[in-house]
Structure 1
Amino acid sequence: MAGDHRTLREALRIRESDITDETVWRQRRRVLAAFGAIPALGLSACAEAEAPPAPTAPPPSPAAVAAGFSTDETLTREIDATTYNNFYEFGTGKADPSRAARTLRTSPWQVEVSGECARPGTLELNDLLRGFLPEERTYRLRCVEGWSMVIPWLGVPLGEVLRRFEPTSNAKYVAFTTLADRAQMPGMRYRSIDWPYREGLRIDEAMHPLTLLATGVYGKPLPQQNGAPLRLLVPWKYGFKGIKSIVAIRFVERMPPTAWNDLQPREYGFFANVNPDVDHPRWSQASERRISGTEGKLFANRIATRPFNGYAEHVASMYAGMDLRRWY
């Protein structure tokens, strides 16, 4: 972090009236504590019965997609993006990961690629990314809790990495798994989600040029609390889709189970596309608190949430014909 960064306590000091998302967080934690009693209703049951319809609209041109690689919106300060995080493996408080994640060893690091592909294998991280030059992408990050950031990332397009493994025609989805090591991840000692953390994308989502495997942020290697050494970025989806500290990627034929959707499918859909017209059952998604560049105040302002987090012109064609209220 830059030498002029304030202490963590100073960085997180905001007015009591501004801490709306902390209420959301406490509600979410109560759900976690009771997850064993929650019936598996909603999207997961639908996914077992049928797959969503295939898209019917043509994709946007490469030039149009490339326009989504940057934004002129005010960046979130590095101190905020690296001390205000969700990473349950290191605790459920926003400041917990920036302290506890120091125990995470990020080298050496291996990633297993398996499933419906012609060239499966377990590779060292450097071998997985060999030949790719990191690209800088400035993306909006929208959390399902109702806050957002604008962050400059470094990484490589996921689709280009996946093509090296030659997925077969049976590869309809891509499943991801986070490291699960209680010795390095103290938050795993507490009952919350069903470890390890799991996420997934439809194959066309995974191959989309906006989907990024991030290895850095603010021009530096990715810090542990932000998902080092390898995390997923899907900027048109809610932040919980951005799985951190990835150790396994698997090509699968059926929609894979994912951590939050398994826990409470009526609240956290598999697709998780940002949609201001579909509220979370316990709060509105119509607006968000932007965390951006304001000294002494964590939340700069409240702004309207845009469909697909403002990336609709680049990704909406993938969901043509789908009922986005049902397949949320």
Structure 2
Amino acid sequence: MFRNDLKWSDVTPKAQFLNRRQIMAAGAATLMAPRAFAAGYSTSEKQNTFEEITNYNNFYEFGLDKTDPARSAGALTVDPWSVQIDGLVDRPGMYDLADVLKMGPIEERIYRLRCVEAWSMVIPWNGFQLSHLLNKVGVKSGARYVAFQTLQRPSEMPGQRQGFLDWPYREGLRLDEAMHPLTLMATGLYGEELPKQNGAPIRLVVPWKYGFKSIKSVVRISLVADQPDTTWKQTNHREYGFYANVNPTVSHPRWSQATERRIGGGLFNSRQDTIMFNGYGDQVASLYAGQDLSRDY
């Protein structure tokens, strides 16, 4: 019998439909369900709930407490949104978000994300490979790094009205890291539009690195020849290096990285051993052949 009170979630699993912005912006080609990503890149670990993912965040533009982003990010204006792409590229420009979303097919990817504070989550992202975007804009031969910058809007981001970091937030990757198929530009999670406290409308996700490399609310992507300045390395280079690879053998100066606390794991089952490269070593260890990762931390 026909029912007119059904919701999408009643007939389609949450992770199997794309958010409204992605569908409208990317066109008919994305109306298909998100694909599971390539074998070997997945994790079968239990996913954190939507509520856990959206209510326990580091997004210092909204404050230092883990609950500040969920409490304060609602005031952020994310539409309209554009991303400046410049530097050593063939087609620099100010790209509307709708055009950015057309740079690559939207997929679902379930990644473990680990914070340098030694806690972790498993998150089902929707997004596209950064490599697709870089290939579309054309990378010039002199480019060796990719630099990223977050929105600076202190009128809507109360943390930016405080001086504990040098705003705007900046991050960077080596070009081969940026081109790796694991490196994702995320625009949603759990099949829904990316919440503002999680970096709406577009953020970077680099699953083998500590979470501070996965810069949120990106407004600028620059291809450059020299290693770019990054916020945490500039703030305290003794504690935060450029590479930020998850490495349990290199302790943070103020705490161990040998174990981590899984958010949502309960009081007695949440602590577990940290895995090199956050468990993605089979895919990314070759990027660092010959490097001393106790020095290049």
TM-score, normalised with respect to structure 2:
0.86
Percent pairwise identity: 58
Aligned residue in 2 for 1:253: 225
Instruction: Assess if the C-alpha contact under 8 Å between 2:104 and 2:129 holds in 1.
Output: no
Output the CA distance in 2 between the equivalents of 1:239 and 1:222: 17
1:192 aligns with 2:171: no
1:326 aligns with 2:283: no
**1:231-242 to 2 correspondence within 5 Å?**
231-242=203-214
Q: What secondary structure sits across from 2:238 in the alignment? A: coil
Gap regions ≥5 residues in structure 1: 4-64
Output the CA distance in 2 between the equivalents of 1:324 and 1:132: 32
1:78 to 50, 54, 60: 50
Q: Which amino acid aligns with 1:276?
A: P
1:127 aligns with 2:99: yes
Q: What secondary structure sits across from 1:164 in the alignment? A: helix
**How far did 1:300 drift?**
4.5
**1:195-234 to 2 correspondence within 5 Å?**
195-234=167-206
Q: Which amino acid aligns with 1:305?
A: T
Aligned residue in 1 for 2:274: 305
Residues 192-222 of structure 1: CA deviation (Å, up to 9, x unaligned): 1100000000000000000000000011010
Residues 34-85 of structure 1: CA deviation (Å, up to 9, x unaligned): xxxxxxxxxxxxxxxxxxxxxxxxxxxxxxx933432110111111110000
Q: Which has the higher contact order (CA 8 A, sep 6+)?
A: 1
1:142 to 114, 129, 132: 114
Q: What secondary structure sits across from 2:212 in the alignment? A: helix
Output the CA distance in 1 between the equivalents of 2:122 and 2:103: 28
TM-score, normalised with respect to structure 1:
0.78
Aligned residue in 1 for 2:244: 272
Output the CA distance in 1 between the equivalents of 2:60 and 2:40: 29
Residues 258-303 of structure 1: CA deviation (Å, up to 9, x unaligned): 00010001101100000000000000000000114x5xx4785100
Aligned residue in 2 for 1:98: 70
Q: Which runs of 4+ in 1 moved over 3 A?
A: 297-300
Gap regions ≥5 residues in structure 2: 1-8, 10-36
CA pair 311-193 structure 1, distance change in 2 beyond 3 A: same
Q: Which amino acid aligns with 1:99?
A: R
**1:38-187 to 2 correspondence within 5 Å?**
66-130=38-102, 132-187=104-159
Count of residue pairs brought into register by the alignment: 262
